[in-house]
Each structure stands twice: as C-alpha cells, then as structure tokens.
Amino acid sequence: MSFQAPKGTFDWTPPRSERVLAIREALAAPARRAGYGYIETPVFEDTALFARGVGESTDIVSKEMYTFTDKGGRSLTLRPEGTASVVRAVLQHGLHNGQLPVKLWYSGSQFRYERAQKGRYRHFWQVGAEALGSEDPALDAELIMLAADGYAGLGLTGVRLLINTLGCKECRPGYRAALQEFLRALDLDEPTRARIEINPLRVLDDKRPEVQAQLAGAPMVVDHLCGACKTYHEEVRSLLTASGVAFADDPRLVRGLDYYTRTTFEFVHDGLGSQSAVGGGGRYDGLSEMIGGPSLPSVGWALGVDRTLLAMEAEGLLADEAAGERVQVYGVPLGEEARRRMFLLVTELRRAGLVADMSFGGKGLKGAMKGADRSGARYALVLGERDLAARAVQLKDLTTAEQTEVPLTEVVDILKGKFS
C-alpha cells in the first residue's frame, strides 16, 4: 500500500520548496523593517475562540473547521486563520499592557475543509502581520503599504489592491437594517436567508452567480457612513496615495470574517482564475471584546504564500525552476582513503559558510561527475590516490571545464574567495 497526501493538501519538494521559503521571507521582510516582532501560536486552539472571534455566521465556522475532541474531552480546532490566535496570545500574556500598538508578524499553516481546487487548499500557509491597540488611519495605511512592498519585493507587477470601509458600531446598524430590508425581498435559499438575520454583510460576499445577479441594486455601506468613518477612510486613502500605493475603491468588498470594521482590503491577481485573492485584511476594532478582552482596536493582514507562488508562475517569474545555487561545491572522492579525506574537507567547507555536498555510495568518476552536474554546483573537487599523495585536490570549474591543482590546505580559502 502506498500512502498519498490527504485530499486538498500537497507537499513542497526541492527546488520549488526553496522558492516557498524565499516568498515567506520576502513577504515578512517589510514588516520586520517596520518594527514588527515575530509571534508563533499553537496550530490548534479552543474551538470557542474561533466560533466567537471569526463568527458563527461565517462559512469558516459553520462548514470548514477541522474540529476534534481531545483525550481530556476538550473541543479543539486546527486554526483556520491567524488573527484570533494572535489576539488571544496578546491578551493572555498581557502584551497590550506595554507600549501600543503591539506590532507582531507570524508565518504558519492554516486549515480549512474547503472544496479543493487550484489555489484553494485545505492546508495552506500564510504570512500575517497585526498592529494591536491603536485606532489610527496611519496604522491601516502602514500595514497596507507593507503588504504592497512585500509583493513588489518579489517582482510581482500584476497584484491589484482593492479597498473599502465597513463603517463602525455607530453607522453600521443603520446600514445593516437597510441591507436586511433589501435582501429579505430577494429569491434566496434557506441557509442564505438565515444569514441575512445573523450577518447580512456575508451575503454580499456570496460568490454564486445567481446570488450576485440579484445584488445589483443592494445599498452600499459608503452611502451610510458616519462623519468620523468618512474622515478616517479619506485619511487612509490619502496616505496610500502619498506613499505611491495604487488602489481601486471597491464598495462591495466585505471579506469573509465577521470581525472586520472600517478599513477592509484585498490584494488580487488576475492570473489565478476564480481564486484571485492573494492576500487581504482590515481593521477589527471589536475582536478583543468578542473573546473576552478589553477594547483593543487593531488592524492586520494575511498573505497567502501558496497563491503568491501561483501568481509568480503566472507572471513567468519562476520560469527557471532550478535557479539559485543549491550546492556551490561538490566533492568527488575516488577510493576509500579519498572518501574519508573528502568527508572532512566538505565539513570544513560547510563550516566556512559554503554550501557543499559530495558523492556517496562509492560511485566511480563518471557517476560522481554526473552527480556534480545535477547538484547545480559551480565547482567540483576531485580527489584521487595520486592527489592524496601530493596533498592536493583537483578544482574543476563546471561552467568552463577548466581544472587546476590546489593544495589541500588552501582549497577552503580559495573557494571562499571565489564566492565572496
């Protein structure tokens, strides 16, 4: 019997997996430069954290969570998103009692039982950033800019930013009532009708064409904003414009989580088909209270690593899949004594900071040189009995085929010089 990865999951293997590491680092780099500290939370949490924080009316909570009962009879859930866990950790460890805002970034797996298709997986990886404890449009603009810089740093040019505001607890009730009145008159199935009463904004996020067709005349949140929300949103927009961040206003953008207030945004890429969102986020001023904490107005985002990779492929940025030297130097020992000496030499090279590998399994010259070529190394070190006697090694440049004899005592320094 041969095992396979579960449906909706996949493995990252070299050399593609190296790209994924580089993408995670590039997406996190702008946040780190802005003073965001790294946080890591458990992969599973108390189920009630997500039910309360993400929202009972969301598809995530009602249909998509991986929930199980542990041996102590507790209901636990694999995290479907990162923000609720970060807020829980901030409250638990009292980080909000220090300097505000608390600025954090994370990188990790999320799990949702979704209909598996390209760009939508049941196990996926996100890089996220959160700024907690401050209600300031400059903070919203900062986070949006950091995400935009992350995509730009990867060379992506086709990522578009959509932005909207969802109002606050002062103006949302009036909009909610107008939206409910409009939605109740539509021809919708029972689960959707139930959603109108719990969180009508979620109906606007319904992707089904038969629902979207009926939403053409739906009232817009921008027409129901209070003065404070209008001013706040204009400030976010003007700061983005001043920073050179291009965006489009999308009055229908609501995102799929119940905790968002005011600023909401999404990064989309047109090369991905139906799963066009590569990242997004927004302000969530009431989430801390939802999970039993004090008022802690916050804003954050999560960027999809898997979809960012697909976007880069769509733009032809990963055409040369083997790019980037995995191995710099490859050892080719000929004979038992040479193998022992090469093992020590390769160890020395690695400790000197070079990426070095060698031929294993007692291959002959031909097989070992094939391994050197496949490794992508720029140099091969050939060590035979005659070389050992002369206390030297043959240094072969695999791009020019030029070969020179180098004393064993000098080879590490010579190679370090070639790669410096």
Binding annotation for L-histidine: 81-83, 112, 126, 130, 255, 259-260
Contacts of 258 (CB under 8 A, 6+ apart): 54, 55, 56, 57, 58, 199, 202
Distance between CA atoms of residues 120 and 104, nearest Å:
26
Distance between CA atoms of residues 202 and 176, nearest Å:
11
DSSP-derived secondary structure for 220-246: PGGGG--HHHHHHHHHHHHHHHHTT--
Q: Which residue has the tokens 């983005």?
A: 240
DSSP 216: T
DSSP H or E run through 77: strand 75-78
Distance between CA atoms of residues 189 and 211, nearest Å:
10
**Amino acid letter, residue 352:** A
Helix, coil or strand: residue 188: coil
Nearest to 323 by CA among 22, 11, 69: 22
Distance between CA atoms of residues 102 and 92, nearest Å:
14
Q: Which residue has the tokens 């035979």?
A: 384
Distance between CA atoms of residues 307 and 370, nearest Å:
35
Residues that constitute the known binding site:
81-83, 112, 126, 130, 255, 259-260
**Amino acid letter, residue 94:** G
Tokens of 172: 């949302």
Q: Are 383 and 349 in contact (CB under 8 A)?
A: no
Helix, coil or strand: residue 91: helix
Q: Which residue has the tokens 């950790």?
A: 89
DSSP 79: -
Distance between CA atoms of residues 107 and 32, nearest Å:
12
